Amino acid sequence: MKPNNLLEMLHRTVERFPEKDALLWKESGTYQHITYQKLWNRIYDAASGLNHLGIGENDKVAILSNSNPMWGITDFAAASLRAVSVPVYPTLPSEQVAYILKNADVRTVVVENEEQRDKVLAGDANVENIITMYPGESFSSTESNLSFFKLEKIGEENRIPDWEERWQKINRDQLTTIIHTSGTTGKPNGVMLSHGNFLSNMEAVQFWLIELLPEDLTLSYLPLSHVFERMAGYYMPLSVGTTIAYAESIDTIQENLKEISPTVLTSVPRLFEKVYAKVLDEIDNGTPIKQKVFNWAINIGIERYERYLNAPVNELILGEVMPSDFMRKWKVAERLVYQKVKKELGGRIRGMVSGGGTLNPDVAQFFWAIDLPILEGYGLTETSPVITTNPMVRAKVGTVGKVMPNLDVRIAADGEVLVRGPSVMKGYYNNEEATANAFEGDWLYTGDIGELDEDNYLKIIDRKKRILVLSTGKNVAPQVIENAVNENSFIEQSLVIGDQRKYIICLVNPDFETLLPWAKQNGIRSESLDEICRHKIVKDLIEDKVKEHTKDLAEYEKPKKVVIIGEQWTVETGELTPKLSVRVNVIENKYKNLIEESYAEDSPSNSQMETGATAGYA
């Protein structure tokens, strides 16, 4: 029997695995743990504490923190009171935090530390309570400004006597969260999602994806503020009794992978792209023998993948797909190449899920070739989030998979993907106009251009608003070009510009962790990122890499100029969203003068690129 709400979902796991570790996290260099039963008890205490503060049905409780046990405790505690959690990315500046708090009518905010509390205090949001997870030594507790420990203590002393009876009455239609969109093209909207939205999406995903098991161990490094991580990396593992380990940060992911040795990993494409670029860079700098062995092994892996993709289902079930002589070659390739890459990811991964953006097909094919299945999916915050995903048995590289069995998808006349079903949002909070504009009847406009192939697999081409129409009449999907450019280890992010222009140009943000050591080895001693990016050999390097990675594209899809940006694009400085996507409007506005200057120069020939660099061009 299906659970009626998220609390019931978790409680079933607690009853099955009370003494099993639910969460692992690092404090003072050592991993801590909490069992499912202790996690449940702390949710009870936190819920009772919030209840004592006056939090009740449909009250809004914001969570402004990196992922840690208290994030999830707050989320479930609020949900048990029929209250509504409002996740806020901890990387957002104070003015954006204030906007979200006001937009969602937040009464209480749970913050990670004093830095996050200061953001709340700096804004003009009218909140009643601030609860701090990790208060500093100078922290002074008051009735409306207390520590998370104090909240739980209050709850322990004032436990809700009928708490279980209360949460058991919550049905699937109850609003549980308001998640604000990333705002890549304007002000974020608050997406209203119910218990049923999440539960229906989880039930559909379990039909297609890697089957999570109680003995699995996942590593969570994406913020729980992100709907993809919250559903696939948190709710789903907790629903089956899997143990979740939290990475310390994105910067320590490589170290944490080796420490934890997860069996399943969910990620946005950028992590997979960086691992791929690092491996290729190492091979390019290796001996001819090493390169030959690597290429042979990859070709063996690709052949194995293609055999699986094209094999009849009965052969897959019986395990009769691979001839014995081929398997001998594959085992040699596994020992010489695949195992070395797997070791860098902890050595135990049996499957990975990519979401939150389009994965480059070359990257996906590489991981399948080395026997690390990577299942790409597609979805939106508005759909809780998964719309399509590749099934484990029939994953097709270059697509985002098949439509969830409880959803309907159709392609509009202009190519836009439309979706309807039980995981589609209730609407945008306090914005009836935006909600009305998002739907055609019960069909949700996704804002993405896509197509269904002959096997009904969906391929996403680009965001509808991002399709560039050149003055020559050619339509350009920038995402394909940016994905190709970003494959290189010297390039962190890129942005293609060219709407209503004769040709496209490419703004490139280098991967300074890779570029700076290379520059030093080549005699560039400057400490200024701007000066380094202006140096001729750096400009030549980046230009050559862009040419190399776009050589197979149509002529009108090849950037005719490359502009190197001599400063880092970050979430904190506003160029990136918290899920590391580029904010197109922000970057185009910030570098408006530089873009105009690039186009004002003489038009380059098709065989020549021009490169510029800037450090904070406004």
Q: How many residues comprise the chain?
A: 618
Write down the mean pLDDT value for the chain.
Answer: 90
Assigned superfamily of 467-614: ANL, C-terminal domain (3.30.300.30)
Q: Which two tokens stand for residue 476?
A: 């350009």
* pLDDT at residue 314 in the model: 58
Q: Which long-range contacts (CB under 8 A, 24 or more apart) does 131-136 make?
A: 133/65, 133/68, 133/70
* pLDDT at residue 321 in the model: 67
The answer, yes or no, to whether residue 613 has pLDDT greater than 70, is no
* pLDDT at residue 28 in the model: 87
Q: Give the closest residue to 515 by CA, choosing from 526, 507, 506.
A: 526
Strand partners, 32: 25
* pLDDT at residue 607 in the model: 39
The answer, yes or no, to whether residue 11 has pLDDT greater than 80, is yes
Mean pLDDT, residues 275-283: 89
Mean pLDDT, residues 389-408: 90
Mean pLDDT, residues 91-109: 93
- Can you give the C-alpha Rg of the chain in angstroms? 25
Mean pLDDT, residues 369-373: 93
Mean pLDDT, residues 121-135: 93
One-letter amino acid for residue 571 of the chain? V
Grouping H, G, I as helix, E, B as strand and the rest as coil, residue 178 is strand
Read off the pLDDT band of 139 (50, 70, 90): confident
Mean pLDDT, residues 17-29: 95
* pLDDT at residue 602 in the model: 56
* pLDDT at residue 609 in the model: 46
The answer, yes or no, to whether residue 293 has pLDDT greater than 50, is yes
Read off the pLDDT band of 88 (50, 70, 90): very high
Mean pLDDT, residues 522-551: 92
Question: Is the CA virtual torsion 540, 587, 360, 462 positive or negative?
Answer: negative
- pLDDT tens by residue, 507-527: 999 999 899 999 999 999 888
State the DSSP H helix or E strand holding residue 547, giving kind and residue range, or none if neither.
Answer: helix 536-550
Distance of CA 490 to the CA centre of its chain: 22
Q: Which two tokens stand for residue 46?
A: 């936190």
**181 phi and psi, to 5 degrees?**
-65, 165
One-letter amino acid for residue 76 of the chain? F
Strand partners, 443: 440
State the DSSP H helix or E strand holding residue 596, giving kind and residue range, or none if neither.
Answer: helix 592-600
The answer, yes or no, to whether residue 276 has pLDDT greater than 70, is yes
Share of the chain above pLDDT 90, in %: 68
Mean pLDDT, residues 472-491: 89
Looking at per-residue pLDDT, the higher value among 612 and 287 belongs to 287
The answer, yes or no, to whether residue 557 has pLDDT greater than 60, is yes
Query: Which pTM does this prediction carry?
Result: 0.84
Grouping H, G, I as helix, E, B as strand and the rest as coil, residue 507 is strand
Grouping H, G, I as helix, E, B as strand and the rest as coil, residue 30 is strand
Where residue 600 falls (left for φ over 0; alpha for ψ -120 to 50; beta otherwise) is alpha
Q: Are 190 and 179 in contact (CB under 8 A)?
A: yes
* pLDDT at residue 612 in the model: 44
Read off the pLDDT band of 242 (50, 70, 90): very high
Read off the pLDDT band of 186 (50, 70, 90): low
Q: Give the closest residue to 2 by CA, choosing from 204, 185, 186.
A: 204
Read off the pLDDT band of 480 (50, 70, 90): confident
- pLDDT tens by residue, 412-470: 999 999 999 999 999 999 999 999 999 999 999 999 999 999 989 999 988 888 889 88
Q: Give the closest residue to 380 by CA, choosing from 464, 451, 447.
A: 447
* pLDDT at residue 125 in the model: 87
* pLDDT at residue 169 in the model: 98
State the DSSP H helix or E strand holding residue 420, giving kind and residue range, or none if neither.
Answer: strand 416-420
State the DSSP H helix or E strand holding residue 408, giving kind and residue range, or none if neither.
Answer: strand 408-411
Within the chain, which residue ranges are assigned CATH 3.40.50.980? 6-171
The answer, yes or no, to whether residue 177 has pLDDT greater than 80, is yes
Within the chain, which residue ranges are assigned CATH 3.30.300.30? 467-614
The answer, yes or no, to whether residue 317 has pLDDT greater than 50, is no
Mean pLDDT, residues 377-388: 95
* pLDDT at residue 508 in the model: 96
Where residue 593 falls (left for φ over 0; alpha for ψ -120 to 50; beta otherwise) is alpha
- pLDDT tens by residue, 295-304: 999 999 999 9
Which of 65-79, 123-137, 443-457 ranks highest by mean pLDDT? 65-79
Looking at per-residue pLDDT, the higher value among 225 and 585 belongs to 225
Directed axis angle between helix 6-16 and helix 36-52, to 10°? 140
Strand partners, 510: 491
Read off the pLDDT band of 43 (50, 70, 90): very high
Question: Is the CA virtual torsion 185, 587, 115, 228 positive or negative?
Answer: positive
Q: Are 200 and 406 in contact (CB under 8 A)?
A: yes
CATH 3.40.50.980 for domain 6-171: yes
Place of tokens 């945008």: 428
- Round to whole Å and give the CA distance between 515 and 137: 40
